[in-house]
Every structure is written in structure tokens, then in C-alpha cells.
């Protein structure tokens, strides 16, 4: 007998197939322990629901989908950068603000001043907002410490946050996010410490699953990024890359050569970069929130990514400078409107492809027997509505590991 069964639902499995959403209009899902035990049309149940499961949940006609996955966030930080928003509104560019001492460096100063407990307390409302929208898996990057002690502090804060809220936190080390001010005269020395001290310690303590790097003219070169990715692979960590956000540095090609799980941003991605991602199976993570707030004019090459069958994920990029958003649902209509994604691509981008961007496609991101019972119930009749509504929260409730989660903002 199953632990529970969900009936009176339209299920979007997001499994690849003839229907873009894997839609089963009148479905049932049986859950045993933390896994999906059965899924299909309700009429195919061999017995009445009360004979099959100990608990029966009615979805009252709502749409049930895989739990949403936010695969790119900088959720833990100190302070805010609202003043920079004003500067950009007045015409200042991201690079100009960074050169004047703002940008990432400003957040680093505020973040270093906070303890683990203070960082967790500041991030808690942001995490709860994401959870309230049906997010069941949440990536959190470091990158606002930029020295060994503070990068470790951020990763420990991410782990502590995950223990407080009902979500799986996937921590990522992003020490090559910006060059800290104190390393201005010793750039290679900082990279040495990241590769030879920080990455090995993170791997030993199991504090992160992946290493990310920011390959950009205002950050790190492809060769510098390659050093960190090599060190990560040597120590058994997966790799990711912020690539081609503000210019074409060839970072995506480097990421693909290292078998990266994802390359993220990609507004200035070249055709060679698209082809490299296609060959490596690397996921393209698109971040419309940052694109919108930075007032970019060159969108990622979605048509080329689509033509080369590169999977496209979406994420909030929640961060204090360029995407202060805690709404993953909002990213779907933005991606469709700003980037030209189809609604089905957007929905897959926060489920199936987001799972692949974190190396978790075998356990979540779609609904099928044997996968983890992470799903969410939405007050919509069809999954395409998630890409239609601009603002507002459509999530009714969420289930993580087979347990019903109370959704509170």
C-alpha cells in the first residue's frame, strides 16, 4: 500500500515526448516514501484510491508539475545595492559602477562584516519567497567573500539555511567572481590560493558540489578560469561558468571543454560557443532578470541554441546588484517576452533542464516512477499559464520527498 495518492489533478510530467509538457489531463500519482511509485491516467488505477494508499489528496482540478528548481542564485549576501539601481537609471553602466568601487566589491564589504547566523537571517525571507512559489531545489553560490575564510563562511551559511527551510540547497563555490581589492597587486596569488587552498578544503569538507567562475572582461580571463575548473575537476567537483554576459570572451568554449554542467547568461554567445555547448551537453542557463535590469539590448541566441538542441534552463540569478528577484515564476514570462522562448521551453527551463544544470536530472525535474517525489500543485488549468501570468504566485502547495510542505511567504 502506498503512503499517499494524489487524484483530481492534471499532471505535467515534463518527460520528453509527443506532448511538450507530458500532460496527463486526468491523472493520479502514488507516492511511497520519498519516491513516485505510480503515475498515469486515473482510469488506469487497478483499484479504488482508498485501497491503494493510506492518504488520499485531491487536487480539485489543479495542475501538478515537478517541483521548480532555481539553478542559479546568489541568495546569501549582506546589504543591498539599490543606490546602483538609481545610478543605472541615470545612465551609468555595470562596468562603470564596478570601476568606481561599486558592484560586487561593495557587496563583498557588507557580506564580510556579517556572521554566519546574520547571513542566514538575512537570506531567510528570500528563501521563503522562493519556496512559496513551489521551488523544491535551490542552488546557492558563494562569491561575496573572496578570501578563503569568507568563502567558506558563505558556503556554511548556505548549508545552515538549507537546514532551516524545507528545500534542498545545492551549494556552489564562486570564488572567482571578482578580484578582491586586497589582491589588486597579486592577481595570480589570489588565483593560486583559490586553486591550491580553497578548492581542496571545500572538497574535503563537502561544502559545495560544483565550482563556478565568472569569465568576463571585468572579471577573469578564460585561462584563469580554466585553472580553477581544472582544480575543481581534480578534486572531484563539478564545474559551471558565468560566460558571455557582457562580451564574447570564449568562456562557453572553455566551459564545454571542461564538461561543465552549465554555462550561464550567454547574451554574447557566438555560434562557435553554441556548437561547443551542443557537443558537450552543457546546459545554457538564461537569466532574464539580470538582462532586464541591466537594460541589455543583445539577448542570448535562443534560435541557435534551439537549432543545435542545447537545453535551456531559466533561473532568478537572485543577487543584490543585477537581479534582486525572489520570483522564479516571473522568469518564465520574461524569458518568453525578452528572449523568445516558447511557454513549453520556459516550463522545461525551471524543471527538467534546471535539474540537468545542477547534475540532478536522474532524481528530479520530471515526474516518473522511481524519481524523487518533488512536485508542486498550481492554481492553473494548464502548465502554459506559468509562462502567461506576469506577477503573482500560482502555487497552491508543494511536496518534497513525498511530504506535503506548508507554503508560507
260-318 pLDDT, tens digit per residue, is: 999 999 999 999 999 999 999 999 999 999 999 999 999 999 999 999 999 999 999 99
* 314 CB-contact burial (10 Å; exposed 0-12 / middle 13-18 / buried 19+): buried
Is domain 68-357 in CATH 3.90.190.20, yes or no? no
Q: How confident is the model at residue 189 (pLDDT cuts 50, 70, 90)?
A: very high
Q: How confident is the model at residue 330 (pLDDT cuts 50, 70, 90)?
A: very high
CATH class of 2-67+366-405: mainly beta
The CA-atom distances, in angstroms, between 182 and each of 63, 150, 221, 252 are 52, 14, 19, 29
Predicted confidence at residue 409, as pLDDT, reads 41
Q: How confident is the model at residue 406 (pLDDT cuts 50, 70, 90)?
A: low
65-103 pLDDT, tens digit per residue, is: 999 999 999 999 999 999 988 998 899 888 888 888 888
Helix (H) or strand (E) holding 322: none
- Whether the predicted pLDDT of 248 surpasses 90: yes
Spell 88-106 as b/e; 16+ CB within 10 A means b. beeeeebeebbeeebbbbb
DSSP string covering 173-188, please?
EEEETB--GGGTT-HH
User: Could you tell me the pTM of the whole model?
Assistant: 0.97
DSSP string covering 202-265, please?
HHHHT--SEEEEEESTTSB-HHHHHHHHHHHHHTT-EEEEEESSSS--SHHHHHHHTT-SEEEE
Break the chain into its structural domains and give their ranges.
2-67+366-405, 68-357
- Residue 266's SS3 state is coil
Amino acid at each position: 500500500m502506498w503512503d499517499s495518492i494524489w487524484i483530481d489533478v492534471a499532471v505535467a510530467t515534463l518527460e520528453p515526448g509527443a506532448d511538450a509538457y507530458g500532460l496527463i489531463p486526468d491523472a493520479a500519482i502514488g507516492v511511497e516514501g520519498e519516491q513516485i511509485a505510480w503515475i498515469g491516467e486515473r482510469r488506469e488505477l487497478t483499484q479504488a484510491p482508498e485501497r491503494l494508499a493510506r492518504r488520499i489528496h485531491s487536487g480539485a482540478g489543479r495542475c501538478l508539475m515537478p517541483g521548480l528548481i532555481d539553478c542559479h542564485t546568489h541568495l546569501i549576501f549582506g546589504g543591498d545595492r539599490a543606490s546602483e539601481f538609481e545610478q543605472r537609471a541615470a545612465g551609468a553602466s555595470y562596468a562603470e559602477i564596478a570601476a568606481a568601487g561599486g558592484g560586487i566589491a561593495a557587496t563583498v564589504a557588507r557580506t564580510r562584516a556579517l556572521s554566519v547566523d546574520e547571513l542566514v537571517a538575512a537570506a531567510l525571507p528570500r528563501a521563503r519567497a522562493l519556496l512559496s512559489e513551489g521551488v523544491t531545489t535551490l542552488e546557492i553560490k558563494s562569491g561575496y567573500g573572496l578570501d578563503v575564510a569568507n568563502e567558506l563562511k558563505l558556503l556554511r551559511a548556505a548549508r545552515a539555511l538549507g537546514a532551516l527551510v524545507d528545500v534542498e540547497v545545492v551549494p556552489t563555490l564562486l570564488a572567482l567572481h571578482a578580484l578582491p581589492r586586497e589582491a589588486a597587486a597579486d592577481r595570480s596569488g589570489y588565483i593560486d590560493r583559490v586553486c591550491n587552498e580553497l578548492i581542496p578544503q571545500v572538497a574535503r569538507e563537502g561544502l559545495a558540489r560544483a565550482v563556478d567562475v565568472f569569465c568576463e572582461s571585468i572579471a577573469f580571463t578564460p585561462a584563469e578560469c580554466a585553472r580553477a575548473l581544472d582544480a575543481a575537476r581534480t578534486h572531484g567537483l563539478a564545474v559551471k561558468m558565468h560566460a558571455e554576459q557582457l562580451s564574447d570572451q570564449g568562456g562557453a568554449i572553455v566551459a564545454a571543454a571542461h564538461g561543465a554542467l552549465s554555462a550561464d547568461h550567454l547574451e554574447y554567445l557566438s555560434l562557435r560557443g553554441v556548437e561547443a555547448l551542443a557537443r558537450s551537453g552543457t546546459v545554457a542557463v538564461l537569466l532574464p532578470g539580470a538582462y532586464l535590469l541591466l537594460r541589455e539590448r543583445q539577448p542570448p541566441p535562443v534560435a541557435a541554441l534551439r537549432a543545435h538542441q542545447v537545453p535551456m534552463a531559466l533561473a532568478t540569478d537572485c543577487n543584490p546588484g543585477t537581479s534582486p528577484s525572489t520570483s522564479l515564476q516571473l522568469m518564465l514570462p520574461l524569458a518568453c517576452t525578452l528572449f523568445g522562448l516558447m511557454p513549453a521551453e520556459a516550463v522545461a527551463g525551471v524543471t527538467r533542464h534546471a535539474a540537468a544544470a545542477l547534475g540532478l536530472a536522474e532524481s528530479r525535474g520530471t515526474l516518473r516512477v522511481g524519481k524523487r517525489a518533488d512536485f508542486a500543485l498550481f492554481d492553473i488549468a494548464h502548465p502554459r499559464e506559468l509562462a502567461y501570468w506576469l506577477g503573482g504566485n500560482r502555487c497552491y502547495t508543494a511536496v518534497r520527498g513525498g511530504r506535503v510542505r506548508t507554503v508560507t511567504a
